[in-house]
Structure 1
């Protein structure tokens, strides 16, 4: 397990940096895109229980592709839902989880997962530490509530 984290953490950081390097709304000098943490503009998602996002490229709440940091309060849980498009996610801080087809998987900092579009699941952040994620999609973000079977 330690060996996996040693490999996963640098890979996740590389993904994060390469995604940030493509950012259109962040500052750009000589082709280098920059999104320092101090410059991120955090916005709370309405009716989300305190979930916040900071766009790096595009707009998480707009139309079209986006790349954004997402901050889940510790202990926050999403209802049963899906997303119209796949949602690749890098966990930077905390431990995020997803329950797919009854199987719960926990993703500590340094983890990556990619849920296919229209896959029903639960997700959330374990208590103890807020979860900082980096997410991106080819098209707009949505959270489509589903009825439990």
Structure 2
């Protein structure tokens, strides 16, 4: 499983996932540029290509505090994600699916769902999009 995750991460960081350049990238864990996500109440982001908040394609590590819950929302484009630590969840139609560390999921564009990090351990995700990130709350 770790080899699979390593292959996914290598493909993403190579720029191939975004159609980017063939130049390399290197971000040892202790050099990741962590910052708070505006309005994210404890969510931390480390962009490694592009910017999650600036619009356009991006690749980023996202850290959610244990017990964090996102109310129902959608995203304007597909959101592929690898769970690196903790147990993340997505919930739609009354069904909750758990994604423990080592999991991959793809949230389709405009799919109404809630999501979050289960209590007990913080969640670390790797996310990338060819388009920009957005989160549109549902009423």
TM-score (normalizing by structure 1) = 0.84
- 5+ long unaligned stretches in structure 2: 17-21
- Structure 1's consecutive aligned runs of 4 or more residues displaced over 4 angstroms after TM superposition are none
TM-score of the two chains, using structure 2 as the length reference: 0.90
Larger radius of gyration: 1
Shift of 1:12: 2.2
The answer as to 2:98 corresponding to 1:134 is no
1:14 aligns with 2:45: no
Contact (CA 8 Å) 1:91, 1:111: kept in 2 or not?
yes
Which consecutive unaligned segments of at least 5 residues does structure 1 have? 1-6, 24-29
Alignment pair present for 1:99 and 2:99: no
Partners of 1:43 and 1:31 in 2: CA distance: 25
Q: How does 1:10-89 map to 2 (within 5 A)?
A: 10-22=3-15, 31-89=23-81
Cα displacement (A) at 1:72: 0.3
- The SS at the match of 1:34 is coil
Aligned residue in 2 for 1:27 = none
Q: How far 1:31 moved relative to its partner?
A: 4.1
> SS of 1:33's equivalent?
coil
Q: Give the superposed CA RMSD.
A: 1.6
Deviations along 1:4-33, one digit per CA (max 9) or x if unpaired, are xxx4x432232112212329xxxxxx9432
Distance 2:101 2:3 in 1: 11
